[in-house]
Amino acid sequence: MRNSRVLAALLLAVLAATAGCGKEGSPPTKGPKPEDLPKYQVDSAFSLPDSGTWNKAKRRGHLIVGAKEDQPYLGEKDPATGTYSGFDIEIAKMIGASLGFASKDIQFRTIASANRETALQNGQIDYYVGTYTINDMRKKLVGFGGPYYMAGQDLLVRKDEEDIKGPEDLVGKKVCSAAGSTPYQRIQADYPKATLVAYDTYSICVDNLLTYQVDAVTTDDAILQGYAAKVPDELKMVGKPFSQEPYGIGVPRSDNALRFAIDDALATLEKDGTWKKAYEATLGLSGVPAPTPPPIDRYPAS
């Protein structure tokens, strides 16, 4: 009984991930449609001589942007084409356009949660857009444009789970999160009686949840709702966020010129409706209407 359920769950997960459709008979999972995505006006006259990062990208001829590749509606890489899509990807593209780079001149690189700071510090990427929470500890290592979205930590459980209604119910339960993430750190600090399991990515955690290796997956609601939408018959979100996770655009810490340019671009794109259009064509497909973006935190150079 349990084995066949596990098999069914696995099959579903594979189907959803590869074909983007639900179980036989259920409607296909909606994915971002390229024709619904906004086109971004490339500011060809843009120049940012004070930014080392921008100068380097101009010389190179393209931007290198860090992202996630396994977070539905946020940052997903099509294994067949290598194309990235999702809300974070659109944010990266609209900012790229404001900095003078067309979408075709952005190369995305997958960087896991635990490796973001080093990737920015080593100059492997010009900026990072991938569910990256702004906080004071990280601000010591990198700079943050934005925030451009406010998420909150939540829990993903199997559909038939009745015991876990919030983080306080995790005593003695196995809970999975990504190494180096704020949700991982919060469980470790505030709910030490939970048994924490860490992987590089949340999709591995979700596989572990579907195969009964763990009892819950914890990270931001924005991420979890994408996984839940892919296998709605098997998974559900608890739905009571217990933190605030303001998403920022990571930049090298010393490049204040780039950070301020990103803040300026974001303010314009939020005002002229571009942000909302991008949201509706991506993250909005998981069912949550476009919220008002959080205020931009243009903190002074230090």
Residue with Cβ nearer ligand GLU (37 or 129) = 129
- Cα separation, 24 vs 5, in Å, equals 16
- Please identify which residue in 69, 90, 169, 245 interacts with ligand GLU, judged by CB under 6 A: 245
Tell me how far, at minimum, the Cβ of 128 lies from ligand GLU, in Å: 10
Residue 95, φ and ψ in degrees, nearest 5: -70, -40
Structure tokens at 142: 């990198």
- Please identify which residue in 29, 53, 131, 282 interacts with ligand GLU, judged by CB under 6 A: 131
User: Does residue 70 contact residue 283 with C-beta atoms inside 8 Å?
Assistant: no
Residue with Cβ nearer ligand GLU (12 or 178) = 178
183 near ligand GLU, rule: CB under 6 A: yes
Residues 86-115 that bind ligand GLU (CB under 6 A): 113
Tell me how far, at minimum, the Cβ of 154 lies from ligand GLU, in Å: 11
Q: Which of 93, 101, 115 is nearest to 53 (CA)?
A: 101
Q: Which of 15, 55, 68 is nearest to 231 (CA)?
A: 15
The total number of residues shown for the chain amounts to 302
Tell me how far, at minimum, the Cβ of 120 lies from ligand GLU, in Å: 13
- Cα separation, 291 vs 280, in Å, equals 10
Residue with Cβ nearer ligand GLU (243 or 254) = 243
145 near ligand GLU, rule: CB under 6 A: no
Give the C-alpha distances (Å, rounded to integers) separating 131 from 179, 184, 214, 249, 256. Answer: 14, 14, 23, 9, 21
Q: How many residues bind ligand GLU (CB under 6 A)?
A: 12
Residue with Cβ nearer ligand GLU (42 or 114) = 114
Structure tokens at 188: 């470790």
Torsional class of 287: left (φ above 0), alpha (ψ -120 to 50), beta (otherwise): left
178 near ligand GLU, rule: CB under 6 A: yes
- Cα separation, 100 vs 39, in Å, equals 14
- Please identify which residue in 51, 133, 218, 225 interacts with ligand GLU, judged by CB under 6 A: 133
- Please identify which residue in 29, 53, 85, 181 interacts with ligand GLU, judged by CB under 6 A: 181
Q: Which residues form the interface with ligand GLU (CB under 6 A)?
A: 113, 130-133, 178, 181-183, 219-220, 245
